[in-house]
Amino acid sequence: MIERLGAHFFRHEYGRLVAMLACRVGVRHVELIEDAVQSALMAAVETWPKATLPENPSAWLFSVAKNHLVGELRRRARHERLIALHDLGDANATVPGPRAGLDGDVRDELLRMLFACCDDAIPPQSQLVLALKTLCGFDVREIAERLFTTEANVYKRLARARTRLCELPFDADELSSEQLAGRLPAVQSILYLLFTEGYLSSHAHEAIRRELCDEAKRLAEILAGHPLGATPETFALLALMHLHAARIAARLDGAGGLLLLQEQDRSQWDQREIQLGMSWLARSAQGEVFSRYHAEAGIAAEHCLAPSFEQTRWERVVECYALLERLAPSALHTLNRAVAIAEWRGPAEGLALLEGLEPPSWLAGSFMWAAVLADLHRRCGNVEIALRYRESALHSAPSTAVRGALQRRLDQRAD
Amino acid sequence: MPKYLCLQRSLPGAAPDSARPSPAQLQAMYAKFNEWREQFQKNLTDMGGRLGAGRLVTSSPVPDGPLVDVKELVGGYMIVSATDIEEAIRVAQACPGLVRPGSGVEVIEIFAPA
């Protein structure tokens, strides 16, 4: 019976129902909507095992959640007399059940909710938390665990987002096409953030890391399937997600340690993901725009297509990092370009690029900066400087897995 | 086979578990509940349900109000068929979510005329 429902049925139903109800009664009621959806899911767990599973579980959930929500809105209206009567009447009359086979409709509603989350009055970190809560169906504890932050912090971010949604005027739910187009970059950036939170996470469970990546891919694919979001940038974003996802499993050794790119068994890379990534990349190569997602997908594609670490087309990687620096200036991209140059032209040229560069404090204090300098100096034979950076890199490594990989790399002999 | 009434009650002194399960946890509960139901199908005579507030009816008028001490609040009931009370207890104990911190199950034999 459970098999029929799919592995993430409850979580995805949560997102679907929140989005559908938000479209019908307004996103400003998001808290009541979430309560209603929670009640419907709990009712399902309580009643479904006792009888047979409803023929259309999604429709069953929708109608239970809808009734709960309408009842609650009525109760509030009676008490507070705040909600205009016609609004309620409408809510009741125009809350139709999901029509069979109209998957496209649900996708529209998920997208509308995603765009609602990306209100520019909401800080990006709050947007991300709001999307994880309402569209992905994670609760506060699960979000805190996935974003490596405290539950109190998640609550705070969520409250900020909800406050903003509650302030929205009654007619704010219908975003104009200009508004929607204007929010597209924010939507893409939140999906990118969602993906990297999973991909770069040092969480001990691969399943948990993968989950965020899968959610990002799922929502990005819905975005790419809608005329509103079907732009070359979205395609490039999907390309980079798939090309990174292809290598998730191979980044780990059997014991949970991290493997460096040159240590990875390339036969473990997921060829299906690579193919998907390459076809999205091909679709992204249209129009005038070359976005940061294009540059990042290009880098990922070079790695995925290289038969070995040594045979990587480093000049292409360098070129893409240079483009990325121009599109999204960050000392981190310069650092990455230095690494690629070192592979292409030797460590001295890599070092030369970093010379005189004043990294921002967040980067200067991170293990990445120290590790790259330790590695390049070591390979240039500057033993003492290399040792100093090595200490600092190992000291600031965020996890034992990272520390282990650094040690293997930095304790090699000079080139 | 004898029948047993199983009543879920809050344990005195324990705060009721107010944390709401997340959708992922609900899915896990649903899977476990189905497993349990399949395993003990022959014992589950009536899957029962949740119990709400009650009123006491007597021959003399009594004041309205909660009649059961909050500490003993009953959550739900079901009827289990088992050869003896030990088996009934095993069925109830295996039911996901029934026996957890803050709540327990009272298993009571129902005598039926032979």
User: Hunting for tokens 């109190």 — which residue is that?
Assistant: A152
Q: Torsion-angle region of residue A137: left (phi > 0), alpha (psi -120 to 50) or beta? A: left
Q: What angle do CA A4, A10, A14 make, to 5 degrees?
A: 135
How many residue pairs bridge chain A and chain B with CB atoms within 8 Å of each other? 53
For the beta carbon of residue B19, count every other beta carbon within 10 angstroms.
8
Query: Cα separations (Å) of A29 from A22, A25, A253?
Result: 7, 7, 46
Q: In chain A, which residues have their Cβ closer than 8 Å to the Cβ of B78?
A: none
DSSP A8: T
Select from B18, B6, B16 the least CA-distant residue to B71.
B16
Select from A3, A161, A129, A137 the least CA-distant residue to A61.
A137
Q: In chain B, which residues have their Cβ closer than 8 Å to the Cβ of A38?
A: 20
Name residues of chain A where pLDDT drops below 50. Answer: 1, 83, 85-86, 88-104
Residue A413 pLDDT: 65
Q: What angle do CA A22, A27, A28 make, to 5 degrees?
A: 140
Instruction: Give the residue from chain A lying closest to B78, CA to CA.
Output: A50
Residue A401 pLDDT: 81
β-bridge mates for residue A16, sequence order: none
For the beta carbon of residue A353, count every other beta carbon within 10 angstroms.
19
Helix (H) or strand (E) holding B105: strand B103-110
Distance CA A141, CA A151 (A): 6
Q: Is A403 on the interface with B (CB under 8 A)?
A: no
β-bridge mates for residue A414, sequence order: none
Report helix, strand or coil for A205. coil
Report helix, strand or coil for B76. strand
Q: What is the 3-state secondary structure (H, E, C) of B8-45?
A: EEECCCCCCCCCCCCHHHHHHHHHHHHHHHHHCHHHEE
Nearest CB to B34 within list A1, A11, A141: A1
β-bridge mates for residue B76, sequence order: B50
DSSP B47: E
pLDDT digits (tens, 9 = 90+) for B94-106: 988 777 777 788 9
In sequence order, what DSSP letters do the residues of A315-344 get, joined into one string?
HHHHHHHHHHHHHS--HHHHHHHHHHHHHH
Select from B73, B68, B65, B66 the least CA-distant residue to B12.
B73
Q: What angle do CA B99, B100, B106 make, to 5 degrees?
A: 35
Distance CA B26, CA A10 (A): 7
Do A148 and A128 contact (CB within 8 A), yes or no? no
Instruction: Give the residue from chain B lying closest to A49, CA to CA.
Output: B34
For the beta carbon of residue B45, count every other beta carbon within 10 angstroms.
15
- State the pTM of this model: 0.79
pLDDT digits (tens, 9 = 90+) for B17-73: 567 889 999 999 899 988 898 899 899 999 888 887 777 777 877 666 655 555 467
Radius of gyration of chain A, Cα coordinates, nearest whole angstrom: 24
Residue B51 pLDDT: 83
Radius of gyration of chain B, Cα coordinates, nearest whole angstrom: 16
Residue A178 pLDDT: 84
* Residues in CB range of A3: below 8 A, 6 or more apart: none
For the beta carbon of residue A226, count every other beta carbon within 10 angstroms.
16
DSSP A414: P
CB contact under 8 A, B30 and A38: no
Best of A5, A10, A11 to substitute, by most chain B Cβ atoms within 10 angstroms, is A10
* All domains of chain B in start order, with CATH: 3-15+23-110 (3.30.70.1060)
pLDDT digits (tens, 9 = 90+) for A350-402: 999 999 888 888 888 888 899 999 999 999 999 999 999 999 999 988 778 88
Q: Is A199 on the interface with B (CB under 8 A)?
A: no
CB contact under 8 A, A9 and B22: no
Residue A84 pLDDT: 52
* Shortest distance, CA A389 to any CA of chain B (angstroms): 44
How many helices (H) and strands (E) chain A has is answered by 20, 0
